[in-house]
């Protein structure tokens, strides 16, 4: 996913579950929201199963993302070669993984369908 496109998936930890659903389901959404701090550092991700679990726990759609996000998602370094990313997807199949720089800042989103 290009730099411009992945930025549309980034939300702050104070954003709501409702906003995450809007971002995840709009055209061009990846079924994932990247939760990042003001410095661009990845704090976690939210996928649809995180939202379903939060609703079962009694949280409402106005709950902040920092209450529902996965703080330890699978990620990849942004300097990996295309073949290395493909190997990572074969080893750990999932729809997408955030690409992070050496400081943990979001630099992209690798999607399984691209590899």
Convert the pLDDT of each residue in 63-102 to its tens digit: 999 999 999 999 999 999 999 999 999 999 999 999 999 9
Percent of the chain with pLDDT over 90: 83
CB neighbour class for 86 (10 Å; exposed up to 12, middle 13-18, buried from 19): middle
Going by pLDDT thresholds of 50, 70 and 90, the confidence category of residue 2 is low
Residue 45 region by backbone torsions, left for phi larger than 0, else alpha for psi between -120 and 50, else beta: beta
Number of separate domains in the chain: 1
Q: φ, ψ for residue 12 (rounded to 5)?
A: -75, 160
Residue 30 reports pLDDT greater than 90? no
Look up the CATH number of the domain holding residue 51: 3.10.580.10
Give pLDDT, residue 53. Answer: 96
Q: What is the mean pLDDT of the chain?
A: 93
Q: pTM of this prediction?
A: 0.91
Give the domain extent around 78. Answer: 3-114
Give pLDDT, residue 1. Answer: 57
């Amino acid at each position: 996913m290009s730099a411009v496109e992945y930025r549309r998936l980034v939300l702050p930890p104070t954003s709501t579950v409702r906003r995450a659903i809007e971002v995840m389901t709009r055209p061009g959404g990846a079924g994932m929201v990247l939760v990042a701090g003001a410095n661009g550092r990845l704090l976690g991700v939210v996928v649809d199963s995180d939202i379903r679990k939060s609703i079962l726990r009694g949280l409402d759609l106005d709950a902040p993302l920092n209450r529902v996000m996965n703080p330890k998602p699978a990620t990849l370094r942004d300097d990996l070669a295309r073949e290395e990313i493909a190997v990572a997807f074969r080893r750990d199949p999932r729809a997408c993984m955030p690409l992070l720089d050496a400081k943990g800042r979001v630099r992209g989103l690798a999607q399984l369908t691209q590899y």
